[in-house]
A and B are shown apart, each in its own frame.
Chain A
């Protein structure tokens, strides 16, 4: 089955700096890669996703890049703010019309220091 590795497990940045979180996946058939943000005690919330037919997607301060050849994708947050502090999860799935099950990475705890 699919295996998703996420690095780093913790990341501390100064407010205004950029943060980058990287994930690798094992199954070349995976074609959908969402990123979720989870604040303490809350539900995971989708912040951005990318499909395998594009290499990059941007939404304001957040961007995701995908390298299908190397089987890795990354989340980039620019101009970080204290409210960006949370745990971020990457995930991968394959559109197989049989459930689109997500395999999650282990998470990255991002701390933005004011």
Chain B
């Protein structure tokens, strides 16, 4: 039982390049989330999903897209990376609608630098 697994762990991109961050969970969780964490700040929600085939915008969605084609996977895409997107990205998952307010479980994060 690996929990929440993020790949890659580190990545350096040049401005304008694109990439996809992968999040996989093996806990059969309905809900999945993508956050970014900037130095000295809390986590801010980028996008989230309440189930396979659904996505929704969070607090800071601009410049990102997401897809949830399979229940266990949640992908975060950067179409044209910008230096302002340099951050640590965390994926999280939790049980869904049948379970009231369940804790979110986090992955180890992806450290992304945009030059």
Chain A interfacial positions (CB closer than 8 Å to B): 1, 6, 31-32, 34, 42-46, 49, 51, 89, 93, 95, 97-107
Chain B interfacial positions (CB closer than 8 Å to A): 31, 33, 40-45, 48, 50, 56, 58-59, 90, 94, 97, 100-109
Instruction: Contact check, B94 vs A45: say whether CB atoms are below 8 A apart.
Output: no
The interface residues of chain B, by DSSP majority, are classed as loop
* Chain A nearest CB, measured from B107 CB (Å): 6
Task: Report Cα–Cα, A70/B81, bound state, in Å.
Answer: 42
Instruction: Contact check, B103 vs A43: say whether CB atoms are below 8 A apart.
Output: no
Residues of B within 8 A of A98 (CB): 50
Instruction: Contact check, A43 vs B108: say whether CB atoms are below 8 A apart.
Output: yes
* Chain B nearest CB, measured from A70 CB (Å): 21
Residues of A within 8 A of B104 (CB): 34, 46, 102
Instruction: Contact check, B101 vs A95: say whether CB atoms are below 8 A apart.
Output: yes
The interface residues of chain A, by DSSP majority, are classed as loop
Given A98-B50, A99-B48, A99-B56, A46-B103 contact (CB < 8 Å): yes
Task: Report Cα–Cα, A93/B33, bound state, in Å.
Answer: 14
